[in-house]
Amino acid sequence: MEPALWPNNINQANKVALLAWVKETGINLVQVNGQRRYGGPPPGWVGKPPRFGTEVFIGRLPQDMYENELIPLFQSAGELYEFRLMMTFSGLNRGFAYAKYSTRCGAREAIATLHNREVRRGCAILVCRSTEKCELSLDGLAPALARCQLEAALRRLTEGLLTLTLYPSPYRRQAQLALLKYSSHYAAAMAKKTLVEGNAKLVGLEVKVDWLKTDLKQKLQSHEESPAHSQDQEAKCPGVPRSLVPHDALAHLNALCQRWYLGTPVFLTKYVQGSPGGWLRVWCQVAIPGCPLSFRGFVWVRPDRRGRSGHEQAKVAVALYVLQLLGCQLTRAASARSTP
């Protein structure tokens, strides 16, 4: 944390106390995109992140209260995996935070013992179970947009995308709506921020981005027997074999490039970051001599039972991505050449 980034005339005493506490404890606080985070994972954490249901929402916080008071308070209920305090530009908090525990028992204990706890005279805080929203909706997508095109754009712009489903939009004529599921609430929130506040465009389209509402989800599920990503939609990307197994991706990509006389793909990979659970963040780039498109980005991988290294795993992951995107591009090119 850098105190020079804070306006010095607002709540200076508590800011100084926070910095002293950080120095004394050695705790690392990282501020990014309007929130300050501890942990996720904390030092010494081994294994996977905690499962769903371990996070609590904290509301009605005094705006001049910081982690030097909040983290010890919430650690009294159980082991913290992560603590996120929402911040304003002036250095005050926004009145709410999230605490994720290592177990559901810790979250339940926090709610039982800290809800309505008076942290300042006349100021009792709210502590309740976090909804941990992980799903977004994108409305207003072009009716001809293929799923593989949208997925390629989303993986380029956001991280943590787990699933993507396309439906006919129930609100707009001649449009599609996408349901996106991310690996965590944090990943979904960062994706929403990127797509909304960054004015990012998806495959050249401007769409409405929002948290997935319960009534919309129910409406989509009631028509799930004929979503827009059915066989007709997937048929728009025949460059990707329907029965493709991940470890076959490299062979299929080489075969596709040979069929279209594009040359042999060249992969560049570099380890960027590791996690205690064995996951590796790898930067990847693929150069295809006869293709003007650029393929680069980050992927999280983990050495598998086949004994493949993180580099090999990253090549497979990015090969899958390139197959989807390149298959669509080549299909459109072939269609354009065959049109009289």
Query: Are 10 and 119 part of one and the same domain?
Result: yes
> Could you tell me if residue 239 is inside a domain?
no
How many structural domains does the chain have?
Answer: 3
Domain presence at residue 253: yes
Give 113's Cβ-side CA count (13 Å radius).
12
The answer to the question of residue 25 being in a domain is yes
User: Is residue 67 in some structural domain?
Assistant: yes
The enclosing domain of 334 has a CATH number of 3.30.160.20
Residues 198 and 262 placed together within one structural domain of the fold: no
Question: Is the domain of 30 the same as that of 89?
Answer: yes
- What is the value of pTM for the model shown? 0.51
Q: Which residues pair with 161 in a beta bridge?
A: 182
For residues 201 and 113, state if they share a domain.
Answer: no
Cα–Cα distance, 33 to 196 (Å, whole number): 13
Whether residues 255 and 182 share a domain: the answer is: no
- Half-sphere exposure of 199 toward its Cβ, with a 13 Å CA cutoff? 0
Domain that holds residue 325: 246-338
Q: Are residues 93 and 118 in the same domain?
A: yes
Q: What is the pLDDT along the chain (340 residues), one digit of tens a residue?
A: 544 444 556 778 898 999 999 999 999 999 877 889 999 899 999 888 888 889 999 999 999 999 999 999 999 999 999 999 999 888 889 999 999 999 999 999 999 999 999 999 999 999 999 877 889 999 988 776 777 778 888 888 888 888 888 888 888 877 889 999 988 887 888 888 888 865 556 655 668 899 998 888 888 776 554 344 333 333 344 444 444 445 577 888 888 888 877 788 888 888 877 765 567 778 888 888 877 666 777 777 766 666 677 788 778 877 877 776 666 555 555 555 555 5
